[in-house]
């Protein structure tokens, strides 16, 4: 059996690049707040873009915080889905996919908010031209296939939520869904969710803050029991391999 360690992880965080993200959600502020909340691991999951991931990873690495590269994709069904990747090459490949499939509709900053790319010093170095909250023109299965072709992990987001989820858009989570796990939000426990959806017990689960404001980083988190803080170990924990597992229910909504 491997020597497992508990890691506190919030795997659904938006930066200032998401139009719904607060202007305080710069990479440096997110890393600072994550460390203040005692997190060992976070994931950056902006809407339909990965372009703020690498700078956050660099800041996190310099301060001992593991930052998993991710994105929150809006499918053709308008369901939100998380995708996670292990390296820069995979992130770049998926960004090219997003660039091809996001509708070229300009962002309305007055209506939706800014979509800013900032560096380690919180200086603006660019912005996304097209509105990131729109659905891409690829369905759930197509996104899964592309994520897996690249080598990533696919996890439909906040599946119990009353909007922008599989449940809200389809009325249920399909029994034959192709996914590596499911995310639930803070309003339901895994046990209570599975009481009503026992057919989904084959999946591993995560729960996260979905933070858009700096004070919400780490409000909800997982304890992931794995050997090291790596993409591969997270994947094994999702599958429950060799005693690895993810505790989603014990450490919910605790304030510091």
How much of the chain, in percent, has pLDDT values that exceed 70? 97
Helices 53-62 and 27-36, packing angle to 10 deg: 40
- Res 249: pLDDT: 83
Indicate if the pLDDT at residue 250 is higher than 70.
Answer: no
Q: Model confidence over 125-182: pLDDT tens digits? A: 999 999 999 999 999 999 999 999 999 999 999 999 999 999 999 999 999 999 999 9
Banded pLDDT at 1 (limits 50, 70, 90): confident
pLDDT at 114: 94
Q: Which long-range contacts (CB under 8 A, 24 or more apart) does 238-245 make?
A: 238/153, 238/180, 238/181, 238/204, 238/206, 239/204, 240/204, 242/1, 242/2, 243/1, 243/2, 243/4, 244/2, 244/4
What's the rounded mean pLDDT across residues 76-103? 98
First to last CA, the chain: 34
- The pLDDT of residue 253 is 47
The predicted model gives 25-50 an average pLDDT of 98
Position 184 scores a pLDDT of 97
pLDDT exceeds cutoff 60 at 197? yes
pLDDT at 8: 97
What mean pLDDT is reported for the chain?
A: 96
| pLDDT, tens only, 32-43 | 999 999 999 999
């Amino acid at each position: 059996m491997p020597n497992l360690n508990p890691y506190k992880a919030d795997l659904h965080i938006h930066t200032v690049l998401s139009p719904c993200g607060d202007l305080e959600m710069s990479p440096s502020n997110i890393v600072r707040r994550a460390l203040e909340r005692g997190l060992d691991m976070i994931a950056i999951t902006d809407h339909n873009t990965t372009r703020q991931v690498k700078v956050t990873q660099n800041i996190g690495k310099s301060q001992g915080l593991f930052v998993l590269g991710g994105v929150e994709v809006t499918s053709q069904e308008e369901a939100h889905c998380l995708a996670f990747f292990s390296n820069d090459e995979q992130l770049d490949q998926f960004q090219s996919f997003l660039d091809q499939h996001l509708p070229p509709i300009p962002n309305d900053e007055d209506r939706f908010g800014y979509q800013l790319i900032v560096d380690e010093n919180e200086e603006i170095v660019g912005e996304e031209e097209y509105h990131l909250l729109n659905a891409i023109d690829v369905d759930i299965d197509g996104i899964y296939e592309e994520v897996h072709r690249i080598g990533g992990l696919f996890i439909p987001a906040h599946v119990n939520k009353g909007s922008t989820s599989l449940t809200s858009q389809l009325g249920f989570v399909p029994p034959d869904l192709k996914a590596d796990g499911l995310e639930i939000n803070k309003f339901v426990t895994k046990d209570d969710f599975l009481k009503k959806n026992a057919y989904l017990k084959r999946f591993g689960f995560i729960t996260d803050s979905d933070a858009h404001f700096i004070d919400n980083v780490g409000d909800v988190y997982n304890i992931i029991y794995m050997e090291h803080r790596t993409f591969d170990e997270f994947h094994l924990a999702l599958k429950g391999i060799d005693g690895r597992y993810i505790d989603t229910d014990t450490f919910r909504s605790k304030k510091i």
